[in-house]
Structure 1
Amino acid sequence: MRYSRPYSIKNFFNQTQKTSALQYVYQRTKILIQVNCILHKALPEKLRPFCTAANFRQGTLVIETANAHCLMFLRYEKSNLLTAVREKILPSLISICIRINPILATKSVKSYPDHKNFRTDISNTKVRPLSQESANTLRIVAKQSPDKLKYALERLALCTRDRGKRIYDKRPLTSMQKED
């Protein structure tokens, strides 16, 4: 009970050996935070919430991004990012690996709800009804499909020009609706 006083975490890191696993994790976390800062400064403001430095191993920096659009932009800017990170933090950096992590998109939408790339406004979308020919094709495909898919296709087939609002009806189909 003699040593039960709280200690600062900085003191704990200073007292550990340099080969300690906790010290290693702390140093890598600091490096990743610095790399994230450089990455966010180099990226356009619209892409910042959707890209993050995930790991650094064997001379390779792993960057995660939310979607393919961001991936293509990062591939285009890969050499500039490599140079910037080498100059400021990691001179031992050899390459950059870019991966898609769709979870970043959901986190980014929650963090940045006004971001326009990932937000759809239903009131502005124009609803186009199905033609009768398309509805008949969907019904033919539905006959050969499993029950769950069959139900969805039949509901979609109801969205012809004269029945455009029926798709939002969540009730099961009646025998009269199936015959249409």
Structure 2
Amino acid sequence: MHKQNTPQSLTQLLGTKSNTLSSFAVKGALLNRFTDFLAKYVFENTGLNISDTCQVSNYRSGMLVIETFSPAVAMRLNYVKGGILTAFRTEFIAELANIEIKVVPKEQLKIEKEPDLPPKHLSQNAANALRDAAQHVPDSLKEKLERLAALADKNKS
């Protein structure tokens, strides 16, 4: 009898054909092959190395989706889109109908919020230096420097 909670090896989990995890692994491997082929094709035809900035992210309903972080790379890919389409039809997918090229900013992948910085305080030495400087400047700037120096007194209390 096989208990439900006993650990199973990853190869056993990926080996079952009805398993959803298995289908994801197969699709992921296929997309990696597509990405490698795309990088090789683009490098051979344009001299552009896109391996770090571009990937094939999906294939669905006859459409290949390519994502890049760079608008410049997206423009270059659009120039050779017809050749890429022909190469993929010849090498992998005869029923491929279209290629969609998306620009996905790196910032979109950043989920963590940057920590708020603590407010900066003006030291008493800086306030005294501002008051000294205010004595030798025109009146309009003098008022602004004195207000800025008053912030040090406000923060002290």
TM-score by length of 1: 0.51
The aligned counterpart of 1:133 is: none
The aligned counterpart of 2:89 is: 86
The aligned counterpart of 1:35 is: 34
Secondary structure in structure 2 of the residue aligned to 1:37: helix
Structure 1's unaligned 5+ residue stretches are 108-173
Query: Following the alignment from structure 1 to structure 2, what is the Cα–Cα distance between the partners of residues 2 and 23?
Result: 20
Residue among 60, 63, 75 paired with 1:60: 63
Query: Following the alignment from structure 2 to structure 1, what is the Cα–Cα distance between the partners of residues 17 and 145?
Result: 76
User: Residue 77 and residue 89 in structure 1: after superposition, are their counterparts in 2 closer, same or farther (change >3 A)?
Assistant: same
* CA-CA distance at 1:41 after TM superposition: 0.6
Instruction: Report if aligned partners of 1:34, 1:89 keep a CA contact under 8 Å in 2.
Output: no
Structure 2's unaligned 5+ residue stretches are 111-142, 147-157
* CA-CA distance at 1:13 after TM superposition: 2.6
* CA-CA distance at 1:36 after TM superposition: 0.6
Identity %: 27
Q: Which residue identity does 2:40 align to in structure 1? A: K
Instruction: Report if aligned partners of 1:31, 1:89 keep a CA contact under 8 Å in 2.
Output: no
Report the RMSD for the aligned CA atoms in angstroms: 3.0
Instruction: Indicate whether 1:8 and 2:9 are aligned.
Output: yes
* CA-CA distance at 1:176 after TM superposition: 4.7
Instruction: Indicate whether 1:175 and 2:144 are aligned.
Output: yes
Query: Following the alignment from structure 1 to structure 2, what is the Cα–Cα distance between the partners of residues 54 and 2?
Result: 37
Query: Following the alignment from structure 1 to structure 2, what is the Cα–Cα distance between the partners of residues 2 and 28?
Result: 29
TM-score by length of 2: 0.57
Instruction: Report if aligned partners of 2:16, 2:22 keep a CA contact under 8 Å in 1.
Output: no
1:120-131 alignment, distance < 5 Å: none
Secondary structure in structure 1 of the residue aligned to 2:77: helix
